[in-house]
Amino acid sequence: MSLDKLKRIYKKAEQDLTKLKDLAQLNNVKAHYLGKQGLLKDFLKDLSKLSNDEKKIFGKEVNAIKNSLEEKFQNKKSDLETKLEAAKLASEKIDITLPGKKNRPGSLHPLSIVENEIVNALKSLGFSVASGPEIESDYYNFEALNFPKNHPARDMQDTFFVDEQTVLRTHTSPVQVRCMEKNDPPLRIIVPGRVYRNDADATHSPVFHQVEGLCVDADINFGDLKGTLEAFIKMIFGSSVKTRFRPSFFPFTEPSAELDIMGKNGWMEILGCGMVDPNVFRAVIEKRQESCSESPYDPEKISGFAFGLGVERVAMLLHGIDDLRAFYENDTRFISQFG
């Protein structure tokens, strides 16, 4: 053991400090000199072999060098951290002379836009908006709308059953029955909302959107239905659009019809409609009698018409879209066209 060896260790440590480039290197070099297995620890192991006087001399020198090296390593660490922070700030520097990036404003989904157009048009014709549950009982979704148990007409709609008595509504027509049970005529409502059917391809989706309407009062006739729907269709597709009514079948209307419009490729079906079937009124009467409520829905005294259309179908016709699935793929390039 000699002071010369101790000074050589100190000098070599100073030289190594000047070569350090990052904190990882600094930690390794510091451990080499000051760690539990470092050179200074090895040097101190031989102190026990010295006399008491020599221990005082060497001990003092070793502590002085240890304290000096710890200070130098700490200063080097601070220097490296400062340089690292400066480099990070430089790499994240923003050139304020560059043109800014514009935030493209969001917009409603095209289906929401078209649904709002439909709702606003019908509201201008005197209809008010109603809503109801999407998880519906078999009674309101089918029976009250003149779909008897095991009737073939139920096959017109591929239904999602929650259980034997509960379904995901296949149309928004159940809300019409619910409104008649709670409100006396005259009644003029529309019911926009989601509906569900087990069908999926380029023109069908398991979940889609409908707007259905109901008008009930004394002396309502098919002429009222035609006049209302023709005025509505002209609001949506333009005053020059040609329309026609074709006989059809729906369990909850009689007579029933489908309304077509003339497009580029000929006549296209746009909605179903008809006069409310008397059996629907009778179902309302029975339900109101269960709650000891008088019912003014005697089919001998009142009448009404109903209609329903798909929002997706209207949107496809308005915008020339041939694949319904485009509405649900969340491709911003598609959706942003309608903003």
Q: How far apart are CA 106 and CA 93, in angstroms?
A: 29
Q: How far is CA 71 from its chain centroid?
A: 58
| Spatial CA neighbour of 315 closest among 306, 304, 324, 307 | 324
Q: Which of 30-34, 78-82, 232-236 has the lowest mean pLDDT?
A: 30-34
For 40, phi and psi rounded to 5 degrees? -65, -35
- Give, rounded to a whole angstrom, the gap between the first and last alpha carbons of the chain: 84
Evaluate if residue 307 carries a pLDDT over 80: yes
pLDDT recorded at residue 215: 98
**How many CB atoms neighbour CB 265 within 10 A?**
6
Helix (H) or strand (E) run with residue 89 in it: helix 52-91
Evaluate if residue 136 carries a pLDDT over 80: yes
pLDDT recorded at residue 43: 67
Contact 168, 162 (CB under 8 A): yes
Contact 316, 324 (CB under 8 A): yes
Instruction: For residue range 277-289, list pLDDT tens digits in order.
Output: 999 999 999 988 8
Helix (H) or strand (E) run with residue 112 in it: helix 110-124
Instruction: For residue range 100-135, list pLDDT tens digits in order.
Output: 778 877 788 999 999 999 999 999 999 999 999 999
Q: How far apart are CA 137 and CA 146, in angstroms?
A: 14
State the residue for tokens 């008491």: 52
pLDDT recorded at residue 2: 64
